[in-house]
Each structure stands twice: as structure tokens, then as C-alpha cells.
Structure 1
Amino acid sequence: MTEQELIKELRMSLPSNRILEVVRNGAIQVYGDLIFLKKKDEADSSDFIKWEENKGYNYDYRELQGKNVIFGHTLFNERGKEALKAFLEA
């Protein structure tokens, strides 16, 4: 699985599309590197917060508005977790 395929799968595996609408930059950390699902601008890795709470599809995720976020692996649905596993094994 390529990085671009992983990004596509993970974007579809978030609990809500609203998450990517509100965050400034959104990424997942793999082996210490950030893989961006949304990248609006450059940000220092120390500016990121970690988010692992799945509050469901209809939640507004207002607390993430304009923030730089690293998504925890547990946030994604099973399809996203399987894609991440396939990427790590490749």
C-alpha cells in the first residue's frame, strides 16, 4: 500500500468528515514521522495536540477548530486500521 492510498483510506475512516473541515493540519504519526491527511500550512511538530476521542458522526468537533492535530490510531474505523496495518507491513 502506498502512502497516498493510506491517506485516502484514513480520510474515509475518520468518525466524521467534520474533523478534517475544522482542523488546521491533521496527521497520523507512523514511526515518528507525520503523514498528513490535511495540510493547510507548515507547523512545528511541537504545535500539535494528540486526539483519540471518537465522539461520533454528528458531533461538531469545535474544540479542534484551527488546531494542529495528530490523530491516534484508535480513532479510525476497522477499515482504516486494516489499511494502516497493511502500510506498516509493506
Structure 2
Amino acid sequence: MYLSSAKERCVVLGLYIVENNATVRATATRFGISKSTVHKDVTQTLKNTNRSLYLDVKSVLEKNKVERHLRGGEATKQKYKKNNYTLQSAIK
């Protein structure tokens, strides 16, 4: 998806994050741009473009930051659960 200006792009990215409760990584993947670009757009450019949307995005990003260790722990748990199951199947 190509957007003509950084201001337009930051609003689209901000709306996507708020509507989908998305992470920076998920947003970057969805739009095919780097995580750095997404983060800069929604934390710096959006602040000067659309203040109310910026505050909404900021709260989602703060929530994601608080929850990130839980997501990482769950991903690791699932990884080992899958590997353990595969190992037990191979032994039998």
C-alpha cells in the first residue's frame, strides 16, 4: 500500500493500531513497511498531525508494552509444548 505523504500514512497507521489493537510489528507487516517507520510515524509525526489520534495510539502502545512479557512467555510455552509433544511422538 503506497501512501503519498508521511502525514497521510501516519493517520492510516494510527487508525489501524487503534481499531485492531495492533502492535507495531503487526502493523508493519500489514502495511509492508519497517517497524522503525511505523514507530516513528505514530509517535512523532502523528503527534503533530492528529493529537487526539496520537493519544489513542499512545495508550494502545503503552498497553502492548505492559503485556509484551506475557506474550513472550506464552509464545515460549507454546513452543516447548509443541516440541515436547513432537519428541514424545517420536519416542513411541
Which of structures 1 and 2 has the bigger CA Rg? Answer: 2
Confirm or deny a common fold (TM above 0.5).
no
Higher RCO (C-alpha 8 Å, min separation 6): 1
Tell me the TM-score normalised to structure 1 length. 0.29
Greater helix percent: which structure?
2
